[in-house]
Amino acid sequence: MGHFGALGRELGWFILSRIYRWTRQEDDLGKLYHVADALGRLAQGIVRARRKLFDDNVAEVFPEWSASARTGLIKAVTREQCRNIVDIFYYTARPSLLRQRLTVENPEVLDAAVALGKGIVFATGHVGMFPFVGTPLTWKGIPYGVVARPPHDARVARMLDSVRDDLSIITVPDRPVQVASRIMLRVLRNNGAILTPLDIHPGADGGPVVDFLGRKTLMFSGSARVAAKTGAPIVCARVLREKDGYNHRVRYWPAEFVPREAADGKSEAARDTVAGLSDWLSGVIREDPEQWLWMHKRWRPRDLQ
């Protein structure tokens, strides 16, 4: 297992570092996508254990799908993820171009949330170019941070921190909790926004057991707890790649306040809030499954024991 883990890390670093370098040298996004597609196929062929996990996840959520349909989705998701990597590196060097390529579908909903003056807790998943959920705020000088779990590879962690800095995104490490809380409070008190992914595994801290994509699982309650503790509303949001393959569109759902009782992650209020968020995210994923990150061990039987 350790051998495959080391192989995966080195392959991941090879792909990331090459794409980063090429996005600095090549302006033609189509050519960069072509290279990224080839690297994605290479990764699929080498790290077969990850491909099996991917296939198992899809089969659990879409049991009616044939093996060929699952394979088609795996290829589409791999292509999307590699192109997402290209995009995030490409636009750090061309921020003015991102303003042309990222469309806000309903800006009035975001403006209404900002006008509340309480800060915003964005709830989303690893769907599409999810870090760009709060980018329209940065264009207005409003602080925006993303809760991130550092990768095991320190080289990748440093690279991603640098990329977020270039995009005016504040990095909020999920550990230690005291540091994360301090950064989030500072951002929210300045009427800024924090993005907390719903679909990361809650880890040792646990979380409420809710339905996610038709299966019971522990779900990260960070969005509910932060919103309840600070009084900031939750705004569900997602960014999807448009059919032309180059542009992205962000959509926001109306702001909703969370009961104060949800500050206790083990409370019924927290469970109900997280269950609602999980239902929302499940619907987004089922509508556009090729844009979600399927290749993680998201459902773990031992979590429910």
Q: Please check whether residue 51 is in contact with residue 41, taking contact to mean a CB–CB distance below 8 angstroms.
A: no
pLDDT grade for 4, boundaries at 50, 70 and 90: very low
- Lowest-confidence range among 16-20, 37-41, 90-94, 192-196? 37-41
Report the distance separating Cα 93 and Cα 183, nearest Å.
26
Q: Is residue 119 part of a domain?
A: yes
Report how many domains make up the chain.
2
**pLDDT value of residue 14:** 84
Around Cβ 222, how many Cβ atoms within 10 Å? 24
What average pLDDT does the chain have?
92
Q: Do 146 and 88 share a structural domain?
A: no
Q: Is residue 176 part of a domain?
A: yes
Give residue 123's identity as a one-letter amino acid code.
A
pLDDT > 70: percent of the chain: 95
Q: Do 254 and 144 share a structural domain?
A: yes
Q: How many CA atoms lie within 13 A of 61 on its CB side?
A: 22
Compute the average pLDDT of residues 117-138: 97
Q: Do 9 and 82 share a structural domain?
A: yes
Q: Is residue 54 part of a domain?
A: yes
CB-count exposure of residue 169 (10 Å: 0-12, 13-18, 19+): buried
* Residue 129: partners with Cβ closer than 8 Å, 6 or more residues away: 84, 87, 88, 239, 241, 248
Domain end (from 92, 112, 133):
92
* 13 pLDDT higher than 50: yes
Q: Is residue 98 part of a domain?
A: no
pLDDT grade for 120, boundaries at 50, 70 and 90: very high
Q: Do 299 and 198 share a structural domain?
A: yes
Structure tokens at 118: 């309480």
Report the distance separating Cα 248 and Cα 68, nearest Å.
28
Q: Please check whether residue 98 is in contact with residue 91, taking contact to mean a CB–CB distance below 8 angstroms.
A: yes
**pLDDT value of residue 5:** 60
- Phi, psi for 245 (deg, rounded to 5): 85, -10
Q: Which of 94, 95, 97, 48 is nearest to 74 (CA)?
A: 48
Q: Do 119 and 17 share a structural domain?
A: no
Instruction: Write out the residue range of the structural domain in which residue 25 sits.
Output: 2-92
Q: Is residue 189 part of a domain?
A: yes
Give residue 130's identity as a one-letter amino acid code.
F
Q: Is residue 97 part of a domain?
A: no
Compute the average pLDDT of residues 249-265: 97
Around Cβ 210, how many Cβ atoms within 10 Å? 20
* 303 pLDDT higher than 90: no
Q: Do 175 and 88 share a structural domain?
A: no
Q: Do 298 and 178 share a structural domain?
A: yes
Q: Do 127 and 244 share a structural domain?
A: yes
Q: Please tell me whether the peptide bond between 176 and the residue prior to it is cis, using omega within 30 degrees of 0.
A: yes
Give residue 135's identity as a one-letter amino acid code.
T
**pLDDT value of residue 140:** 97
The DSSP result for 41-92, as a single string, is HHHHHH-HHHHHHHHHHHHHH-TTS-HHHHHHHHHHHHHHHHHHHHHHHHHH
pLDDT digits (tens, 9 = 90+) for 33-91: 999 899 888 877 666 667 888 999 999 999 999 999 999 999 999 999 999 999 999 99
Q: Do 147 and 266 share a structural domain?
A: yes
pLDDT digits (tens, 9 = 90+) for 84-93: 999 999 999 9
Q: Do 267 and 233 share a structural domain?
A: yes
> Strand pairing partners for 194?
121, 145
* 305 pLDDT higher than 50: yes
* 1 pLDDT higher than 70: no
The pTM for the full model equals 0.93
**pLDDT value of residue 151:** 87
**pLDDT value of residue 63:** 95
Q: Do 128 and 84 share a structural domain?
A: no
Q: Do 153 and 75 share a structural domain?
A: no
Greatest mean pLDDT range, 39-48, 98-107, 194-203:
98-107
Compute the average pLDDT of residues 150-158: 90
